[in-house]
Amino acid sequence: MDPNCLFCKIGAKQIPAKLVYEDDDVFAFEDINPQAPTHILICPKKHFVALHDAGAGDQALLGKLQLVAAKLATERNLLSGYRTVFNNGSGAGQSVFHLHLHLLGGRNFRWPPG
């Protein structure tokens, strides 16, 4: 845990958030600035700044983030279409520097994103 990290504090329940999922490795909560009707942030409890900070030993955890996204999408009946996104670095739109997966759904998306 990084004591200065907003998402680490949410995961430790030091800052309130609308949690929608939690297990030993992962927590997920509603985004406070949603970009779609469903916008959930799925975070590893292990602190990574961005994807490039993960290593080979983190493969299962990174895959678990996607599986949690699929579970939440199913629970919310988003199976007609949803998007999962990792933003890495400020140039990609990352504003909180704790790796997190965005689950977006409930509206049509365009391609390319951006």
| Catalytic residue list | 100
Q: How many CA atoms lie within 13 A of 50 on its CB side?
A: 12
Rounded CA separation 13/62 (Å): 22
Give the single-character DSSP code of 92.
G
- Residue pair 106/78 in contact (Cβ under 8 Å)? The answer is yes
Backbone angles phi, psi at 38, to 5 degrees: -110, 125
Give yes or no for a contact between 68 and 75, defined as CB atoms under 8 angstroms apart: no
Give the alpha-carbon dihedral of 27, 28, 31, 35, to 10 degrees.
140
